[in-house]
Structure 1
Amino acid sequence: MLHRALTLCLLALLAAPVAASWQDRSKHDEARMVDIRHDGEKRRYALYVPPGLDTSKPAPLVLAFHGGGGHAEFMADDARYGLISKAREAGFVVAFPNGYSRLPRGRLATWNAGGCCGDARDRGSDDVGFSRAVVADIGRRVAIDRQRVFATGMSNGAMMAYRLACEAADLVRAVAAVAGTEAVAECRPARPVPVLHIHARNDTHVLFDGGAGPDAFRDASKVMDFVSAPETVKRWVGRNACQTQPERTLERPGAWCERYRGCRDGATVQLCVTADGGHSWPGAEAVRRGKENASQALDASEAIWTFFSEVSGARR
């Protein structure tokens, strides 16, 4: 009974179940699964290397973390996230790590992002160490630029990206978070970390103004009282020593973005908000059955790739 209850809880947590396909939209590119061992356990990630990548030049790498209750293949589904297509266009390598799961195929996985979520948090899964192990393993397979490693994620995966910014700023250059706020108790990044935060105003899982919404969980002990999106952004504005008044960089029906400039070492903090779309990836073609369609007023994948490309071209 307990195992069934936990399974139902994770199904309701912050993400969706199994994906049917994880190719790019053109159906001719796909990631492949890689198994590694970390902390005495078998872990896995999906790796995508664009065809024709210039191997004479180290490539940027994006780590894309799935939401709680999801898995690597789900995050690699282009109909939902579009990250393989963007990586192919931009010449980036992208990896989709799989969170901690008790199931053989790694389904219903979560990340230990600090205060959230699920079994990964409760057992103290070393997901920061696992992220380092993934980057090291990829570095043995393809030339990557260690100065241009980025992290993005959805929901619990976004929280994991924030944890890396706090605890592994030597590993990740910048982070882009969608529908997930900061979840660590303490954050002392070793350097300024550029941040892009994307959130729907009507998110019913990770509430924009803070707290866990009615759709976030069945067992409240498996998540946390989420920090608000504005508070998360405020904290990073302070850590990066940015100007406190943002400038509006995008305003259109259903979405707006703003940027905080003047940060130390050229870092920026950006916030993009959609009016609707709920707990989803803006611009996605597919969402969970019975859930609100993703906002089409903003393309999260496009915004993230523009952000990483700008950081990639800037001086460190």
Structure 2
Amino acid sequence: MRLILLLFLALSALTAPPAVACTGAEECPLGERAYHVREPDGWDGRSPLPVMLHFHGWGRQGETIMGHPRIAGATVPRGVLLVAPDGLGRSWDFRRAGSRDTPFARAVLADVARRYPTAGQPLIVSGYSWGALMAARFACEGEADIAALLLVSGAFPPSVSCDAAPVPARVSHVHGLTDGVLDFPYGPGGEDTHAVALWRARMGCDAPEARRFDWQAVSWLTHDRREWDCAGGRVTMDIHPASHLIPRGWFAQVLDEVLDAR
């Protein structure tokens, strides 16, 4: 009887369906917290994957990002693995150095590296609103080599200490002039690129802007682009007339620029 039971258990193990991978709406548990991941379209299960670590806005969770047309809609067709941690209380601890969320984000990346072939691939860190502030906090103390830091509607003032971490290869910021949630960050005398002052100083952008031009992803929203070529990489600032939002096509445009520069 015992032999029959053992044979039954062995057969059940062989015929049991594989464990469901944590993708999309299926969260990836990590200690007492969790994150979400979405694979790019057509991935063959073996090819190396660049990663975009995205910090959601206040009141959201990583699951929201997995179906977001302006975020996932940009990573999925471009061969980028989208990773979105869950903030405690649907928020982030970004105001001071020593954030509890920085080691968590590092642990998320380590767990992703165990599941996916990401070693040696570009790490893109992004965030929206309070998530942009958390992305900046992670860049300032995350001890990670960041290929690009993409910040939407959330900016650290230049007084924030950000000297210990590696310098990102690129920083891109976008902000709306009529933002009523996190006001457009004008500098002294109404200077309108104050949002990237921290990064320009950090990356050695001593020269004036190298280029300025307008571009559109949709006909109803024009971005005023400023670009600086710096000792440590490139800084860009996109200014638009709308409010507190992720502009349609912005992530797609900037990801194309980042990936084409590889």
TM-score by length of 1: 0.66
Question: Are 2:82 and 1:100 aligned?
Answer: no
Aligned-partner SS, 2:57: coil
- Alignment correspondent of 2:165: 190
- Alignment correspondent of 1:199: 175
Q: 2:50 aligns with which of 35, 60, 85?
A: 60
Question: Are 2:202 and 1:239 aligned?
Answer: yes
Question: Are 2:64 and 1:70 aligned?
Answer: no
Distance 2:172 2:94 in 1: 18
Distance 2:222 2:132 in 1: 22
Moved more, 173-182 or 51-60: 51-60
How do 1:244-283 residues align onto structure 2 when only pairs under 5 Å count? 244-246=207-209, 247-251=211-215, 254-261=222-229, 263-265=230-232, 267-276=233-242, 278-283=243-248
Deviation at 1:187, TM superposition (A): 0.9
Higher Cα Rg, which structure:
2
- Asked whether the 8 Å contact 1:31–1:49 carries over to 2, the reply is no
- Asked whether the 8 Å contact 1:63–1:96 carries over to 2, the reply is yes
- Alignment correspondent of 1:301: 251
> Structure 2: where are the runs of 5+ without partners?
1-22
Deviation at 1:152, TM superposition (A): 0.7
List structure 1 segments (4+ residues) > 6 angstroms apart after TM superposition: none
Deviation at 1:167, TM superposition (A): 1.1
Q: RMSD across aligned C-alpha pairs, in angstroms? A: 2.5
Question: Are 2:29 and 1:35 aligned?
Answer: yes
Distance 1:199 1:94 in 2: 22
How do 1:198-217 residues align onto structure 2 when only pairs under 5 Å count? 198-209=174-185
Q: 1:89 aligns with which of 67, 74, 77?
A: 77
Deviation at 1:191, TM superposition (A): 3.3
- Offset from partner CA, 1:40-70 (integer Å, 9 cap, x none): xx11111111243244432100011111121
- Asked whether the 8 Å contact 2:175–2:240 carries over to 1, the reply is yes
Deviation at 1:203, TM superposition (A): 0.4
Residues 99 and 87 of structure 1: CA distance in aligned 2, closer, same or farther (over 3 Å): same
> Structure 1: where are the runs of 5+ without partners?
1-28, 102-108, 116-120, 212-227, 284-298
Q: 1:44 aligns with which of 34, 39, 45?
A: 34
Which residue identity is paired with 2:238?
Answer: C
Question: Are 2:90 and 1:127 aligned?
Answer: no
Distance 2:103 2:127 in 1: 17
Distance 1:55 1:150 in 2: 20
TM-score by length of 2: 0.79
Residues 45 and 158 of structure 1: CA distance in aligned 2, closer, same or farther (over 3 Å): same
